[in-house]
Amino acid sequence: MTVTDPAAQKPRVVSGAQPSADSLHLGNYIGAVRNWVQMQDDYETVYFIPDLHAVTVDYRPEELAHRTRVTAAQYIAAGIDPEKSTLFVQSHVPEHAQLAWALNCITGFGEASRMTQFKDKTQRYGNDAATVGLFAYPTLMAADILLYQAGLVPVGEDQRQHLELTRTLAQRFNHRFGETFVVPEGMIVKETAKIYDLQNPTAKMSKSAESPNGLIQLLDDPKVTAKKIKSAVTDAGTEIRFDRENKPGISNLLTIHSTLSGRTIPQLEADYEGRMYGHLKVDLAELVTSFITPLRDRTNELLADPAELDRILAHGAKRAREIASVTFKDAFEKMGFLPLAGGF
């Protein structure tokens, strides 16, 4: 029997979140990044910043590089260790766009037209503003995943359909050109990890929120954060009880508390028995600010030395390419392209 590297046998995980804001928000952290940090010990983890995806809708070129660095710095500050995980920027690994092209050529026009996120965004931005890039967003995402032969992809519910398409394309490619890609499984974020808008607690916390007061940005001044929590919308009645239907505001505050304090919802309900909404808000403001403050300080420290941050990302891109280039070469050869003598 050959001796294999035990690290190589861990299932590989791939995920990313777009650099489309000046800061990640608490929903990103609780719904995604926190989970990614935990997965580093049990999986071989590949995390990247999908900047190619960020330009599929209107954006400002002068903001993109900064937002990419901020996102990377926040991942690291939150506990993504660039030695344990392969952490990189999508546009630094050209195989993503190259493989996406190949996948475009085995994706049906009708199939891509059925993607609900594309339909929603087209409606939001108007048909003329929707680009071919936006249309091809899911095939680029499939390339992101398939290049790394990922077994598992942790994503939010809104990405479920894109993941299904990824699986379909992997199977189609394998069937047509021969066994090439691992068919990945989705790992959809649980409802309990969903954080809602503080001002509108039936809507998911999102950077496109109507009011900035509903959004806890991880780079906000902690005083601002405390204020936002204290002015969160609450519900009729006085009882502190988890009830998504009838008490969406209080349920959201309890969820945030539970994810940061580690106390279960029933424990919290018992803790707050007979106490008022205000008590919960005061405690939660304290809990969130003491969580956010070191994270913000570490992020700012990393951003203060952009050259070092860029070196970390270059190191990540190099590691990523070692995996991606092998898959890419195999896929293109199977498709029948003439290999470049001497390699790319």
Residue 215 CA to residue 208 CA, distance in Å, equals 9
| CB of 188 closer than 8 Å to CB of 172 | no
38/293 with CB nearer ligand TRP: 38
Least gap, CB of 125 to ligand TRP (angstroms): 16
Binder of ligand TRP out of 12, 13, 16, 21 (CB under 6 A): 16
Would you count residue 31 as binding ligand TRP (CB under 6 A)? no
Least gap, CB of 49 to ligand TRP (angstroms): 9
Contacts of residue 73, Cβ cutoff 8 Å, sequence gap at least 6: 299, 302, 303, 309
Least gap, CB of 153 to ligand TRP (angstroms): 5
51/197 with CB nearer ligand TRP: 51
The contact mask relative to ligand TRP for 35-64 (x = CB under 6 A, - = no) is ---------------x--x-----------
Least gap, CB of 50 to ligand TRP (angstroms): 4
Residue 235 CA to residue 17 CA, distance in Å, equals 32
Binder of ligand TRP out of 12, 13, 17, 199 (CB under 6 A): 17
Would you count residue 259 as binding ligand TRP (CB under 6 A)? no
Return the range that interacts with ligand TRP (CB under 6 A); candidates 78-86, 124-132, 137-145, 305-313.
137-145
Would you count residue 27 as binding ligand TRP (CB under 6 A)? no
Would you count residue 141 as binding ligand TRP (CB under 6 A)? yes
Binder of ligand TRP out of 15, 23, 255, 259 (CB under 6 A): 15
Would you count residue 18 as binding ligand TRP (CB under 6 A)? yes
139/199 with CB nearer ligand TRP: 139
Would you count residue 331 as binding ligand TRP (CB under 6 A)? no
Residue 113 CA to residue 28 CA, distance in Å, equals 27
Least gap, CB of 122 to ligand TRP (angstroms): 16
Would you count residue 14 as binding ligand TRP (CB under 6 A)? yes
In a 13 Å sphere around the CA of 324, the CA atoms on its Cβ side amount to 27
Least gap, CB of 335 to ligand TRP (angstroms): 22
Return the range that interacts with ligand TRP (CB under 6 A); candidates 10-18, 73-81, 174-182, 206-214.
10-18
- Which of positions 143-182 make contact with ligand TRP (CB under 6 A)? 144-145, 153, 155, 159
Contacts of residue 118, Cβ cutoff 8 Å, sequence gap at least 6: 112, 130, 134, 135, 137, 138
Number of residues in contact with ligand TRP, rule: CB under 6 A? 13
Among all residues, which ones are annotated catalytic? 121, 204, 207
Return the range that interacts with ligand TRP (CB under 6 A); candidates 16-24, 102-110, 191-199, 320-328.
16-24
What does the binding site for ligand TRP look like in residue numbers (CB under 6 A)?
14-18, 50, 53, 141, 144-145, 153, 155, 159
